[in-house]
Structure 1
Amino acid sequence: MSAFEPFEEFGDVADIAAGLDDPDAGARRVTVMDLADTAAPEAIPHLARALTDEASEVRLQAAIALSGFDGPEVSAALAGALSDADDAVARAASDSLTELKDPAAADPLFAYLTHQTPFVRMSAFRGIKELRRPESLKPAIEALGGHDPSVREQAVAVIGWLKLEESLPALISACRDPEAVVRRSAVSALGFSTNAHAANAVTTALDDADWMVREIAAETLSRTAGADAGKRLIAALADDYWQVTLKAVRSLGRLRVTEAVTPIGPLLDHEISNLRKEVAAALGEIGHPSALTYLQKHVDDPDPDVRKNVRWAIGRLREN
């Protein structure tokens, strides 16, 4: 085929699907790949059938292939595969559910939100998360009282994607969950709201025992922006983990907290170049003339990204 000829057609879907009856599992697996390559909606029922093949390698390929399709028929087939005897197939089905974009694809998943198996419940919540169906709020809140942290984590994520003010009490409560992974999800989810109670919950999370919760809190606080956000973020600069300090620096820059120049400036001497880069950017965003004292000492920083940000910040300050 020359570069000027049209792309070859993959052939009739029904003809390709006949390969699913081949006695050789390897051939059936190739058939699944060929069906996926057609990208035709007509291939969906055949791929769903392949999810019940006796060979796990065929089922795995079908679970992966369905990630390129959408709609209720796809989500129903993948949900059924979440209980597959082969863990690799179940995990692939779970991952493919996250590729759904059609809100109608959530319908078959609602029945799985109360499934007896935690993995299935968790995967169903993963699948409906980005579909943002308001009907998912109630089961998600109810799931926060369950025993499995992976389910609670995904339920919190569902609530966060909905961005409904009525969900704030549940998210704030989840910030006190015994499992750090759930608290991280809850603190991040609160970023959509500027409600004073939400801001207070995020601010409180700056003192969490888990450093990754503190890191997310430092980042989220630039969006919730409580009354004492600047003061608390400045205090977070002294965190034992530089990752938390970095996010605090970034948020102070976004909030343009003038009082932060003096405590941020010396961090241009920090050994972590990523942190120095964020410090330079934050000083430029804050835009206070006093930052020049710190920036001018680092125009020759050994890291090119840091030098770039330092020079950008100096230029921005001189323009103001």
Structure 2
Amino acid sequence: MAGIFEDTADLDELAEALRSTDAGERRVAVLALADSGLPDAVHLLSSALNDPDSGIRQQVASALGSFDGVEAANALTKALTDSEPAVAQAAAESLAELKDPGSADVILPFVDHASAFVKEAALRALKELRRPEALKPALEALQYPDASVRIQAVGVIGFLKLEESVPALRSAAGDVNATVRRAAINALAFSQAPSSSDVIARALGDAEWSVREIAAEALGRSPGGASAKDALVASLEDEFWQVRLKAIRSLAALKVRSGALAIAKSLTHPQPNMRKEAAAALGELRASEARPYLEKAADDIDADVRKNVRWALSRLD
């Protein structure tokens, strides 16, 4: 029964199999429908979300992620409230796979659902659909008590890249939850709003190292990132090497030559990734003042570091 089905007779056969008392036969029918890729298969799969076997319902919810459109969105949003958490989770994951902007009309009302899980799933699904109508409910969701909902709301707002949403993202960068702050900083960089660099730069002093890390990275992508060069150079002394690495990368991307000697100090860092990144950045900056440091690093024990050092030195000649 598996394979590509092309005509109504095949679908009729599968519809019959979905009504079988044998769970194994119903399971095979679901797999065949998922394989078929036929738009008409969505209707049959949707009906199978009422199957008494939760394993089959989970399989159906996962299979619907291979399709698209309003009918699939209708089925998946209903499955978000399935009594079996694994089914609801599969539906949430499949919902996020939908690419048809028309699906947003079905998903939008679920942002107001009483369940935090459903709200989060709806917002995550709306993100890549980029429908302006999602802005208002996403802004309202920024006030929701559950941080997982606020994280997805930031994602929706960031993907829309609307100038009027920048103030909300700036505010979210000060959220009590570190993951929300990370998402907001990333969204501000993604928005390419020149006015956002000051907020991102302030995040280099955040108490949570992972927020400082995303801020150091985001400044390299921000239109006004070069204005925070001093803060980035200062971040090369951060206690976490992950933050320093992203600061080095951003200083190179922003062509901040004044940070070259500070970067050169990382050529002796215990972490090979740090030494490799430092060498690459010095080459990118064509920092001739760092030549002595690079020459000392030419015999580094790590082959990738040595390769980057050779490249950097070639850029100085």
TM-score grouping bracket, smaller chain normalisation: over 0.9
Paired amino acid for 2:167 = P
Percent identical residues: 52
How do 1:1-320 and structure 2 match up within 5 A? Answer: 9-10=4-5, 12-224=10-222, 225-226=224-225, 228-318=227-317
Task: Report the counterpart of residue 5 of structure 1 in structure 2.
Answer: none
Q: Hey, what's the Cα distance between the residues in 2 that align with 1:275 and 1:52?
A: 54
* CA–CA separation in structure 2 for the residues paired with 1:193 and 1:199: 11
Contact 1:256 1:287 (8 Å CA) reproduced: no
What's the TM-score once normalised by structure 2's chain length? 0.94
Return the offset for 1:194. 4.8
Q: Secondary structure at the match of 1:237?
A: helix
What is the deviation of 1:74?
1.0
Displacement, 1:24? 1.6
C-alpha distance in structure 1 between counterparts of 2:16 and 2:310, whole Å: 64
User: Distance in 2 between the 1:114 and 1:257 partners?
Assistant: 46
Distance 1:45 1:291 in 2: 65
* Unaligned 5+ runs, structure 2: none
C-alpha offsets along residues 157-183 of structure 1, whole Å, 9 cap, x if unaligned?
100011111100000000111111111
TM-score relative to the length of structure 1: 0.93
- Give 1:99 shift: 1.0
Residue 4 of structure 1 corresponds to which residue in structure 2?
Answer: none
Contact 2:237 2:244 in 1 (8 A): yes
Query: What is the Cα deviation at residue 192 of structure 1?
Result: 2.8
Contact 2:226 2:254 in 1 (8 A): no
Gap regions ≥5 residues in structure 1: 1-7
Structure 1 residues 308 and 117: CA distance shift in structure 2, 3 A: same
